[in-house]
Amino acid sequence: MNPQRGEAYHRYRTGGEGGGLSPPQPGAKPFQCLRCPKRFSLKHQLDTHHRVHTGEKPFECRLCGQRSRDYSAMIKHLRTHGGAGPYQCTACSDYCSSLAAMQKHVERHAPQDFPPDWTIRRTYLYTSHV
């Protein structure tokens, strides 16, 4: 089962659990938290919400150490550091707002501007333990 599409989509595609072949209804929230009444339309939303109950904060700012439950909260936090984007070039310290922009940016540098073991992940201003 594709986790991005979720259980309801899987039931639709396979006809499982007596669901026939009707697609999930727009606005349907088939994923319910087992600890509270909240419901979600996508499984990854439920997985992120679950961290509210566990206290898990897998995203960590490399600039100050603050942790967050989800990626979007971490990106918002990074902007408190002078409006910085979540990616910083290790060769010139410029910031980029997206990974695609950073990939284009580093192409402008000479290969010798980076150590031999360098990877694009070194530009991330956050770490993820997900």
pLDDT beyond 90 at 69: yes
Considering only 20-24, 29-33, 53-57, 77-81, which range has the smallest mean pLDDT? 20-24
pLDDT beyond 70 at 53: yes
Domains of the chain: 6-54 (3.30.160), 59-128 (no CATH)
H/E segment holding residue 94? none
- What is the per-residue burial (b if ≥16 Cβ within 10 Å, else e) of 55-86? eeebbbbeeeebbbbbeeebbebbeeeeebbb
In the prediction, which pLDDT does 16 show? 46
Q: How does pLDDT run across 21-31, given as a tens digit for each residue?
A: 556 677 889 99
In the prediction, which pLDDT does 130 show? 74
Both structure tokens of 69: 């439950």
pLDDT beyond 90 at 20: no
Task: Kindly state the average pLDDT of the residues 102-130.
Answer: 92
Of 32 and 81, more confident: 32
User: Which is nearest to 35 in space by CA: 50, 25, 20, 23?
Assistant: 50
Q: How confident is the model at residue 5 (pLDDT cuts 50, 70, 90)?
A: low
